[in-house]
A and B are shown apart, each in its own frame.
Chain A
Amino acid sequence: MFSLSLAQLRSQAHRLVATAVAIVIAVGFVVATLVLNDSSRQTVLGALASQYLHTDVVVAPDDTGEVAPQTLAKVASAITGNPAVAALTFDSSTYVSARLPGRAAYQFSQVTGLANDEVLRWQKLEEGSWPSEPNQIVTAVGRDLEVGSVVEIRIFGAEPGQETVQATVVGLTERSSDIASIGTPLFWAASDQARAWGATSGGALRVAATAGTTPQDLALTVRQTIQEIPETEGLNVRTGEQEAEALADALTSDTAVLANVLLVFAAIAVFVCALVIANTFSVLLAQRVRELALLRAVGAGAGQLRISVLTESLAIGLIASLLGLLGGLGVAAGISALAARYETPVPLAGITITWPPLAIGLAVGVVVTVIAAFMPVWKATRISPMAAMRPLDDAPVRSGGGLIRRLLGLLLLIPGAGAIWWGHQEYALHAVIGGGMATFLGTLLLARWLVPLLVSLVGRIVGPAGQVPGRLAALNATRNPRRTAATATALIVGVTLSTTIVSAAATVRAYGVSEIDETYPTDVAVSAGQGFPDDMLNTVTALPHVQAALTVTSAYLEIGRGRGERDSQNVQAINPQEASQVMRAVGQDMPTDGTIVFPSWGSDEGGWDYADGDKITLWAGQRKVELTVRRGSDNLNDVRMSRNDLATLKTADAEVYEIWVRLADDLGKSERADAVDAIARASADADPDSTLGGSAEARVSADEFLDTMLLIVLSLLGVAVIIAVIGVGNTMALSVLERRRESGVLRALGLTRSQLRWMLLWEAMLIAAVASAIGVALGAFYGTGAVTSLFRLLNSDGSDVPAVIPVGQLAAILIGATLSGALASVLPSRRAAKVSPVEAIASL
């Protein structure tokens, strides 16, 4: 029987190619994820271990952070001179704003002092030298900096006139030295320099032991010393090794979460792959019904047949999984090589190959293949020996007995939908998620009934457009409802998940934009530093992409109730008419003529005790004006009045405070960035100390974040979609083989080659279109539903977030999936059209 399995495999190899490709992709995904996770942890551990190689003991505050900065200094002086201590250093650091060469914006960055002592200086210099002069820094490679680059550093809390420093990069360390500073650029400076820039509080005290002293002994000594110093309860004393492990755990916990997320996507890919495998085997075995029956007739037991066919699936699973292992390792190595050269969210250097990921990948591939093949095998091997004697039956397969399946599907679908609705009403996110899963499973169960129904419906509608091939395709697509449904299900899974993500992102984006508009009602706000020249407004208005701009003036006025006490108050004045043209949302914070708006927060904290509707008076010298008070929102930080009211006071010392700019509405991302850049340059020319704010930048960065997330998630789900599309092509290829004779007859009767090709393309497109339409509908519902339910829960006031359905993107998914279905069947249909009618008819 085993030799038979192998012979079958050899003779059917070409029919199993697509299945093998699906398995290779799925296994490769699993293996790459696991290997990268291992590698990342190994990278971090390796880097940190080298970092603490010469550090024997670390004294650091624990998480409670209740240790005064001076305490560490006291500890340091107490142990200095101890015979066990060879050297010690503070890893003191501070935060600064740094502007890299060629960049417009400042970036939040960290400056850390280098150990003075060579032994404790763990950074590995790759290029250049260590800092020896003032204003010199070292950084890790991979930040677009070279030796000689100049970084502009702004120091927080520095003396006026000394805030900005031009620091020169004199050395570059290895990438791995930077391992702990993901996201925030990290610069190293000589410890004195770092202290001068504000690095006064130490993060940790690192101590090196003298020769002959073990780290454990040193730790003991340090602990004893510390006990004699007051207020040191919050200090941890650990050996270098312990510290490295603790840090590595903290650093890789994010990576582990990422790996789990990736494994969810891998599981989806494996599930889709299982559907494709099951489908392939049921088609292959259907084609071999006579042969199986013949084997039964000559004396093979059903069990023997089963084992024989399962052996085939085992072999294909094993071969494909091994290829998948190699592929996965290759991908992991590629990603790692790429990541080692750039700053990535996951630290990576080289790959670490351990047995577990390989074993898991292999097991997943083989077990999934055999399990997926089991049902079709079990069904096919129940064949009676008599079937070999009967003529080949061309009867369309009727799928009977779907009643239980249909009932189960409805049992999941209806209560699931109910749970979603209830959860949405009652702020129960768990119910929404559970309901979503139940309805999805229900839909998949109903697919065998729903998909053929929709295919024949759609086929009847669009069939006439495809002439005869179109109509034949519609009929063919529903000939084997089970196969059509299984092919479609694989695609439904991928498309539903992709659409869910896309719709969720669209809803979040729309909500984010409305939030940004509310928080920053202006696109760009330029605040004066030393003061703008009078024609600043004209300069800004003339810039490209600027649609409108207004000036906010500010003046110090005296305010008070009638005859009561007067306070001096800085008040900003805005022209309400101009504001409505410049601002995206003129909210409650905008004054009208005759009103003055105060922030909402001042009332309790001893600020302004004016309430809504109070009448107050403003004086500028002898002139005065009476205004009605309104309390604004939380977002308002200033007191605002109308420009017209300020004009009646004729105050002389009103000056330009801010210029608000509205950009054109239809700007692309890069145009918006250019516009912001131009405004920044113009205002820096006019006033070097001016600063920029507003929604344009926030919007650009929010967009970038969402786009990046979307791209990552979609490319991960793309793997599942690709496998599903391979499945569509596979089903078509197998159907083509099965209907070889029929194709020959059609050709003999006058169907042209191109009509035959069209017929098969139509069939594939019909299945793919119906599957992706179901997926898109489900996904749009899930995506918007999940986000609106989530925000309902998060928004304290329970206000609803409007669901946004990204029609364009969903249409693109629908069309894309349909076309890839067609694309996947190009090869099978070409092969079918090439066969001469004589051969096809003869091959009984």
Chain B
Amino acid sequence: MSWSSPQHQQPGGWTDERQPGAGQQYRRPMQVAVRARGVRKIYGRGASEVAALRGIDVDFEQGAFTAIMGPSGSGKSTLMHVLAGLDVVTDGQVWLGETELTGLNDARLTRLRRDRIGFVFQAFNLIPALSAKANIELPLTLARRKPDQGWYDSIVRRLGLTERLQHRPAELSGGQQQRVAIARALLPRPDVVFADEPTGNLDSTAGAEVLSMLRSSVREAGQTVVMVTHDPVAATYADRVVLLADGAVAGELFSPTTDSVLDALRRLGR
């Protein structure tokens, strides 16, 4: 299965064909999708206490593709986990849109993840027992919602999965599995998609395809995407890069290039 670049895709690939122009409603610049205020995360107690996040204030704009970067141990994965409601903060507040995540109990967090957040993992993390189609529909099935057929068809076609829907994850290549994971994240039209090193397990070609996919979902469908990565090339696909060091925000870049990212990282390293 070869990947056709966005340039060669027929026009309107991301828009819902049954609701023409539906994609436009996501274009509301300067709206904040995810907001963190004074977020601290401390692991362990007493002598073994480790502060993974030491007071983070950051906003993630709606309809934008933001990358979180930083050296190993800078707390970028931890930040993503607390922003996504996978983990609870020690201190501070996190909002998803108007909803404050901090203080929600497990059941409400679970429901919130199910309904309003999409995930793309480094290790794909598809459910081996389910077909690609069932994997894509899983979050909606969990929510007992029916997928929007037009949106579903357009995602599947756009991701080039039409021929692979009945296959089990084990029968798919790494790139294909990650595309299934992206489809799974996009189908419920979540408020935000969190991607954790989405290219980490892929070769560079497949990685580039996946990143293009994520970017075009932002550009063409107004999806908000927050990606954690340590790959400067991957970061260049984003609109903005948030740099973390030692559990605190250490700067940001807009319209990053490989050089500017490498330069920023080098400065962090000092």
In the complex, A468 Cα to B143 Cα: how many Å?
A: 9
Stretch of A128-136, A616-624, A741-749 with 4 or more beta carbons under 8 angstroms from chain B: A741-749
> Is B30 part of the contact surface with A, judged by Cβ < 8 Å?
no
Q: Does B243 contact A (CB under 8 A)?
A: no
Q: Is A404 an interface position by the 8 A CB rule?
A: no
Q: How far is the CB of B96 from chain A (nearest CB, A)?
A: 14
Q: Report Cα–Cα, A476/B128, bound state, in Å.
A: 9
Closest to A474 in B: B129
A844 to B110, CA, bound (A): 22
Q: Which residue of the partner chain B has the closest CB to A394?
A: B128
Q: Which residues of B are found within 8 Å of A742, using beta-carbon distances?
A: 125, 127-128
Chain A residues whose C-beta falls within 8 Å of the C-beta of B130 in the assembled complex: 472, 475
Are A753 and B110 interface neighbours, CB within 8 A?
yes
Residues on the B chain within 8 Å of A741, using CB: 123, 125
B142 touches A751 (CB 8 A): yes
Task: Collect the chain B residues with CB atoms within 8 Å of residue A395's CB.
Answer: 128, 168, 170
Taking a contact as CB atoms under 8 Å apart, the answer to whether B128 and A749 are in contact is no
Shortest CB-to-CB span from B196 to chain A, Å, is 8
Query: Given A479-B128, A750-B113, are A468 and B107 neighbors across the interface (CB < 8 Å)?
Result: no
B139 A476 Cβ-Cβ under 8 A: no
Contact mask A728-757 → B, CB, 8 Å, 1/0? 000000000000011001111111110100
- Whether the Cβ atoms of A750 and B128 lie closer than 8 Å is no
Least CB distance from A780 to B in Å reads 33
Q: Residues of A contacting B107 with CB < 8 Å? A: 752-753
Is A838 interfacial (CB-CB < 8 Å)? yes
Give A395 to B84 CA distance when docked, in angstroms: 29
- The reply to whether the CB of B50 lies closer than 8 angstroms to some CB of chain A is no
Nearest Cβ on chain A to B169's Cβ, whole angstroms: 7
B114 close to chain A: CB less than 8 A? yes
Structural contact, B106 and A753, CB atoms closer than 8 A: yes
Q: Does A166 contact B (CB under 8 A)?
A: no
Q: How far is the CB of A181 from chain B (nearest CB, A)?
A: 65
Query: Does B144 belong to the interface (CB within 8 Å)?
Result: yes
Instruction: Tell me the complex Cα distance, A745–B184, Å.
Output: 12
Q: Does A510 contact B (CB under 8 A)?
A: no
Interface string of A808-844 (1 = CB under 8 A from B): 0000000000000000000000000000111001001
Cα–Cα distance between A762 and B153 once the two chains are bound (Å): 33
Q: Whole-angstrom distance from the CB of A715 to the nearest CB of chain B?
A: 39
CA distance A476 to B130 in the complex (A): 9
Number of interface residues of B (CB under 8 A): 30
State A394–B139 Cα separation when bound (angstroms): 20
| B111 CB–A CB distance under 8 Å | yes
* Cβ A748 vs Cβ B170 within 8 A: no
Instruction: Give CA–CA (A755, B107) in the complex, Å.
Output: 10
Within 8 A of A (CB), among B196-234: 201
Quick one: closest B residue to A744, CB to CB?
A: B125
Which label, helix, strand, loop or mixed, suits the secondary structure of the A interface? helix
Chain B positions within 8 Å of A479 at CB level: 128-129
Given A749-B113, A750-B114, A750-B139, check contact A838 B87 (CB 8 Å).
yes
Which A residues from 741 to 794 make CB contacts under 8 A with B?
741-742, 745-753, 755
Q: Which A residue's beta carbon lies closest to that of B177?
A: A394
In this assembly, does B121 line the interface, its C-beta being within 8 Å of a C-beta of chain A? Answer: yes
> A467 within 8 Å of B by Cβ?
yes
Q: How far is the CB of B80 from chain A (nearest CB, A)?
A: 10
CA–CA, A746 to B119, complex, Å? 11
**Per-position binary interface string of chain B over residues 154-190, scored 1 when its CB falls under 8 Å from any chain A CB and 0 otherwise:** 0000000000000011100000000000001000000
Instruction: Check B142–A396 contact: CB distance below 8 A.
Output: no
Residue in B123, B127, B144, B169 whose CB lies within 8 Å of A746: B127
A844 to B142, CA, bound (A): 25
The answer to whether B144 and A837 have CB atoms under 8 Å apart is no
Which residue from chain A places its CB closest to the CB of B81 in the assembled complex?
A: A838
CA of A211 to CA of B127 in the docked complex: distance in angstroms? 91
Among A751, A753, A755, A844, find the residue whose CB has the most chain B CB atoms closer than 10 A.
A751
Contact residue among A467, A472, A748, A837 (Cβ-Cβ distance under 8 Å from B129): A472
Partner of B127, one of A472, A837, A841: A472
B252 within 8 A of A: no
Q: Number of A interface residues at 8 Å Cβ cutoff, please give it.
A: 28
Instruction: Tell me the bound Cα distance from A752 to B115 in angstroms.
Output: 12
User: With an 8 A cutoff between CB atoms, is B141 at the interface?
Assistant: yes
* Distance between Cα atoms of A748 and B194 in the complex (Å): 11
A749-B111 in contact (CB<8A): no
- Within 8 Å by CB of A750, from B87, B123, B142, lies B142
Docked-complex contact A745 and B86, CB < 8 angstroms: no
A750 touches B110 (CB 8 A): yes
Least CB distance, B270 to chain A, in whole angstroms: 29
Most buried by A among B81, B144, B184: B81
Q: Are B170 and A749 in contact (CB under 8 A)?
A: no
Query: A393 on the interface (CB 8 Å rule)?
Result: yes
Q: How far is the CB of A821 from chain B (nearest CB, A)?
A: 20
Residues 356-391 of chain A, each 1 if its beta carbon lies under 8 Å from chain B, else 0: 000000000000000000000000000000000001
Q: Which of B106, B110, B111, B170 contacts A396 (CB 8 A)?
A: B170
- Please give the distance in Å from B69's CB to the nearest CB on chain A: 19
- Interface positions, chain A 453-500, Cβ under 8 Å from B, are 467-468, 472, 475-476, 479
A766 to chain B, nearest CB (A): 13
Within 46-67 of B, Cβ neighbours of A (below 8 Å) are at none
Q: How far is the CB of A505 from chain B (nearest CB, A)?
A: 42
Give A476's nearest chain B residue, CB to CB. Answer: B129
Q: Which residues of B contact A394 (CB under 8 A)?
A: 128, 169-170
Min C-beta distance of A465 to chain B, whole Å: 14
Is B245 an interface residue when CB atoms closer than 8 A count as contact?
no
Chain A, residues 257-274, CB within 8 Å of chain B (1/0): the string is 000000000000000000
Nearest A residue to B188, CB-CB:
A750
Taking CB as reference atom, which chain A residue is nearest B138?
A749
Docked complex: A386-445 residues within 8 A CB-CB of B:
391, 393-396
Specify which chain A residues have a CB less than 8 angstroms from the CB of B123 in the assembled complex: 741, 841, 844
* Interface contact B129-A750, CB-CB below 8 Å: no
Flag if A750 contacts B111 (CB, 8 Å). Answer: yes
Across the two chains, which residue of chain B brings its CB closest to A396?
A: B128
Point out the residues of chain A lying under 8 angstroms from B143, CB to CB: 750
Which of A395, A472, A748 is packed against the most chain B CB atoms within 10 Å?
A: A748
Residue numbers in A under 8 Å from B115 (CB-CB): 750
Q: Which residues of B contact A472 (CB under 8 A)?
A: 127, 129-130
Least CB separation from B87: chain A residue: A838
User: Known interface pairs A394-B169, A753-B107. Does A748 touch B113 (Cβ–Cβ under 8 Å)?
Assistant: yes
Q: Is the CB of B86 within 8 A of A749?
A: no
Q: Give Cα distance in the complex from A190 to B241, angstroms.
A: 110
Docked-complex contact B125 and A837, CB < 8 angstroms: no
Shortest CB-to-CB span from B225 to chain A, Å, is: 16
| Distance, CA A391 to CA B121, complexed state (A) | 16
Task: Please judge, given known A-B contacts A396-B129, A753-B107, whether A467 and B168 are in contact too, CB under 8 Å.
Answer: no
A395 to B127, CA, bound (A): 10
CB pair A752–B110 under 8 Å, yes or no, is yes
Instruction: State the CA gap A844–B201 with chains docked (Å).
Output: 12
- Chain A hits for B127, CB < 8 A: 472, 742, 745-746
Question: Which residues of chain B in 81-132 are interfacial with respect to chain A, using CB atoms and an 8 Å cutoff?
Answer: 81, 84, 86-87, 106-107, 110-111, 113-115, 119, 121, 123, 125, 127-130
Q: Which residues of A contact B141 (CB under 8 A)?
A: 468
- Given known contacts A468-B144, A751-B114, A752-B106, what 14 new A-B pairs fall within 8 Å (CB)? A396-B170, A468-B141, A472-B127, A472-B130, A475-B129, A476-B129, A742-B128, A745-B127, A748-B86, A749-B114, A750-B110, A755-B142, A838-B81, A838-B87
The 9 closest A-B CB pairs, nearest first, are: A750-B114, A395-B170, A475-B129, A745-B125, A394-B128, A752-B110, A750-B142, A838-B87, A838-B86
| 24 contacting pairs across A/B (C-beta < 8 A) | A394-B169, A396-B170, A467-B144, A479-B128, A741-B125, A742-B125, A742-B127, A745-B125, A748-B84, A748-B113, A748-B119, A749-B138, A749-B139, A750-B114, A750-B115, A751-B114, A751-B142, A752-B107, A752-B110, A752-B111, A755-B142, A838-B81, A841-B86, A841-B125
Residues of chain A whose beta carbon lies under 8 Å from any beta carbon of chain B: 391, 393-396, 467-468, 472, 475-476, 479, 741-742, 745-753, 755, 836-838, 841, 844
